[in-house]
């Protein structure tokens, strides 16, 4: 492991240079990795592992035809490398449980009996284990329980892999029955295309993940964008101007500078007027939202958010209600303006 200075705090990380793919293949050479669920993370992780020479099979519910057909399109053959969930779980020595959180609760009673002594149960999210009192996911004592959690969507896990770059992932060991749990986790992390891996626990992963998704990464970001857009529109600015100053400049310019070399680098490459305004208003925004983030963290840690997720996602009409919510966002003036702005990007016009 390499010691890396993260803002004055030394942390252990594992890079693909010190844990090369050849080493990962050696650890996994006698394993059959059964990827259960071909929805969000399943395709990316299974395809990356297959491309990296790992023996991969997929388990998917046939009644979810769109995902079953996608697996076939991606080269997994029914009866050879594509099976119903329980059959794949029985064949695998490492079972990657990549079904949605609510889906894991539903199918766990059927998957648990498929685990054999010495198998590894793998997650990419700490949800089911951390909140096992609510989910009912209690693994048997004679298996390894491990996690590799990519810090990005399945789409990004695959696109970064194909582009020759990796994606950061955390890893954790909840239960080490075989004495090989950590090696298995690290090997799988490298095999799915991680650029580097950093240690965590199942609990810390799910707490940070749920806070991040509801906060800066998605919920807060969307809410702040809508608030600024609405204020600009209320003061007479056009949809195009409001959208460009709220979203387009952020996603197409400024956030790329942050990704390149940090927030200070982005500030340094903006006008002095922008610098002064941003530096003056930053602490005010931080002070305004800090109490909300504290409330959010407490809701996550207490299991309140888990209760909401499980009740909502297990409802028979969840997908229908979700579709309506997403359609409402898509059809709002702000995001209709966004569609128009995106259509005017030079690379889009050239394709047209």
Catalytic residues: 125
Residue 15 near residue 196, CB atoms below 8 Å: yes
* Distances in whole angstroms, Cα of residue 99 to Cα of each of 71, 251, 340: 14, 30, 35
Cα distance between residue 33 and residue 89, in whole Å: 9
Query: b/e string for 99-133 if b means 16 or more Cβ within 10 A?
Result: bbbbbbbebbeebbebbeeebbbbbbbbbbbbbee
Q: Is 350 left (phi over 0), alpha (psi -120 to 50) or beta?
A: alpha
C-alpha torsion angle, residues 274, 275, 278, 282 (rounded to 10)? 180
Residue 94 near residue 122, CB atoms below 8 Å: yes
């Amino acid at each position: 492991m390499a010691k890396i200075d993260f803002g004055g705090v030394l942390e252990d990380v594992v890079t693909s240079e010190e844990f090369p793919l050849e080493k990962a293949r050696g650890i996994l050479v006698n394993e059959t990795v059964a990827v259960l669920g071909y929805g969000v993370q399943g395709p990316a992780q299974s395809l990356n592992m297959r491309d990296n020479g790992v023996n991969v099979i997929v388990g998917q519910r046939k009644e979810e035809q769109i995902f079953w057909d996608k697996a076939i399109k991606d080269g997994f053959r029914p009866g050879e490398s594509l099976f119903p969930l329980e059959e794949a779980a029985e064949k695998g020595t490492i079972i990657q449980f990549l079904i949605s959180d609510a889906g894991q609760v539903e199918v766990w009673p059927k998957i648990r009996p498929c685990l054999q002594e010495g198998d590894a149960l793998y997650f990419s999210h700490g949800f089911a284990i951390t909140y096992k009192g609510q989910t009912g996911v209690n693994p048997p004592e004679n298996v390894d329980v491990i996690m590799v959690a990519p810090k990005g969507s399945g789409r990004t896990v695959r696109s970064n892999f194909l582009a020759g770059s990796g994606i950061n992932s955390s890893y954790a060991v909840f239960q080490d029955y075989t004495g090989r749990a950590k090696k298995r986790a690290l090997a799988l992390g490298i095999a799915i295309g991680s650029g580097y891996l950093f240690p965590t626990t199942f609990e810390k992963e799910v707490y940070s993940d749920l806070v991040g998704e509801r906060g800066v990464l998605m919920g807060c970001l969307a809410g702040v964008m809508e608030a600024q857009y609405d204020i600009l529109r209320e003061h007479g600015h056009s949809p195009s101007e409001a959208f460009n100053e709220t979203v387009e400049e952020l996603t197409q310019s400024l956030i790329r500078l942050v990704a390149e070399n940090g927030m200070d680098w982005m500030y340094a490459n903006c006008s002095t007027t922008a610098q002064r305004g941003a530096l003056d208003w930053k602490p005010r925004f931080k002070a305004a939202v800090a109490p909300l983030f504290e409330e959010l963290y407490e809701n996550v840690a207490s299991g309140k958010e888990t209760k909401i997720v499980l009740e909502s996602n297990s409802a028979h009409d969840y997908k229908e209600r979700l579709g309506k919510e997403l359609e409402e966002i898509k059809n709002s003036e702000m995001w209709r303006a966004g569609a128009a702005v995106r259509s005017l990007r030079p690379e889009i016009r050239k394709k047209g």
